[in-house]
Amino acid sequence: MESQIQPNAHEPSRVTEKAEKAKKVKKDRFTWWQSLIILVATLAICFTAGYYVSEKYLWNSNSDQIARQLKYYKDQVDIKPNDPKLRVQLGYTYFLKGDSTEAIKQYQIAKSLDKNYFDVYLNLSIAYDKEKRTDDALQMAVKAVKISPLDYKGHLLEGRSYRKLKMYDKASKELEEAIRLKPGNTDIIYEVGLVAEAQGKMEEAEKIYKETLSYDPTFKPAITALERITSKSNDK
């Protein structure tokens, strides 16, 4: 007896298979979108502390991107309000947005949640410096160095604060330690140049700025500094 063909026998399974594929595509699209947001946010957070000192990664800040990042971290903080890392990331995003006051508020909350969290003190030092609260910036940098003495960023920020307070010997000492820990770092070398310039050592400062550009020819702060020195020389 011949077997009969039942054309609709596998149709339900095909429908189910198509539905599953559609769900997978939708899920993959959502995962891709979510991953992209997280990636962008993570990349931005990676450019903290020493990298941010020179503002070299903020020339092309995208306000829409920052707005999305801000919403993302606000949502995350709503879910986990006692996570100091999320507070720092939210604060840093406010800082990128230009809101130092709110950034400091988030950093302070993070500090109350974890008094030994290195990144809190780095970011507070940077935010206080932006607000021209140099003494506070120095205190935060000193605390960061105490927590992690082998991280160059704390020494760099401490050196910067000492320079702004015209305590050049202490500034040079901290920057020397930063260079020892991170040789060839453009932020540190540039800061050494600023110390020399502040002391009126223009030829030395010019040489240091050029050294900075030998490591990174696109380093805008050093380019601007050289233009400033050239302008001063022409005015004499």
- The whole-number pLDDT of residue 151 equals 96
CA 235 vs. chain centroid, Å, equals 37
The residue to which tokens 């003190």 are assigned = 121
- Is pTM beyond 0.95? Reply is no
Q: Which residues contact 155 (CB under 8 A, 6 or more apart)?
A: 145, 174, 175, 177, 178, 181
Residue 86 CA to residue 107 CA, distance in Å, equals 10
Query: What 3-state DSSP class applies to 170?
Result: helix
- The whole-number pLDDT of residue 32 equals 52
- pLDDT higher for 205 or 47? 205
The residue to which tokens 């040079």 are assigned = 172
Q: Where are the domains of the chain?
A: 31-157
- pLDDT higher for 90 or 49? 90
- pLDDT tops 60 at residue 34: no
Round the average pLDDT of the chain to a whole number and report it: 82
Contact 104, 124 (CB under 8 A): yes
Residue 208 CA to residue 191 CA, distance in Å, equals 9
Structure tokens at 67: 């707005």
Q: CATH code for 31-157?
A: 1.25.40.10
- The whole-number pLDDT of residue 59 equals 38
Residue 216 CA to residue 187 CA, distance in Å, equals 10
The predicted model gives 56-69 an average pLDDT of 69
The residue to which tokens 């760099």 are assigned = 156
The residue to which tokens 């595509």 are assigned = 25
- pLDDT tops 60 at residue 47: no
- Reported as a single tens digit per residue, the pLDDT across 159-178 is 999 999 999 999 999 999 99
DSSP alpha helix (H) spans, the chain: 11-46, 50-53, 63-79, 84-97, 100-113, 118-130, 134-147, 152-164, 168-181, 186-198, 202-215, 220-235
Residue 221 CA to residue 32 CA, distance in Å, equals 36
* Phi, psi of 99, rounded to the nearest 5 degrees: -105, 80
- Reported as a single tens digit per residue, the pLDDT across 83-141 is 999 999 999 999 999 999 999 999 999 999 999 999 999 999 999 999 999 999 999 99
Q: 175: how many CB neighbours lie within 10 A of its CB?
A: 24
- Reported as a single tens digit per residue, the pLDDT across 16-28 is 555 555 555 454 4
Query: What 3-state DSSP class applies to 9?
Result: coil
Q: 126: how many CB neighbours lie within 10 A of its CB?
A: 25
Query: What 3-state DSSP class applies to 66?
Result: helix
